[in-house]
Amino acid sequence: MEVEGKVISGTRQGSYFMSLDLYQEEFLNKLGFKPFPGTLNIEISVDDAESILDISDKMGIIKGKGNFGDVKFLPAQLNGKIRGAILFPLKTHHSDEILEFVSDENLRKTLHLKDGDGTTLQID
State the chain's mean pLDDT as an integer: 88
Burial of residue 53 (number of CB atoms within 10 Å: 0-12, 13-18, 19+): exposed
Global pTM reads: 0.89
pLDDT digits (tens, 9 = 90+) for 53-87: 899 889 999 887 777 788 899 999 999 999 999 99
How does pLDDT run across 5-53, given as a tens digit for each residue? 999 997 666 566 676 777 788 889 998 998 898 889 999 999 999 999 8
Q: What is the pLDDT of residue 21?
A: 74
Q: Mind listing the domains of the chain with CATH numbers?
A: 2-123 (2.40.30.30)
Q: Where are the beta strands (DSSP E) in the chain?
A: 2-8, 40-44, 60-62, 71-78, 82-89, 98-102, 118-123
More confident residue, 98 or 13: 98
Q: Any bridge partners for residue 7, and if so which?
A: 42
CA gap 44, 30 in Å, rounded: 25
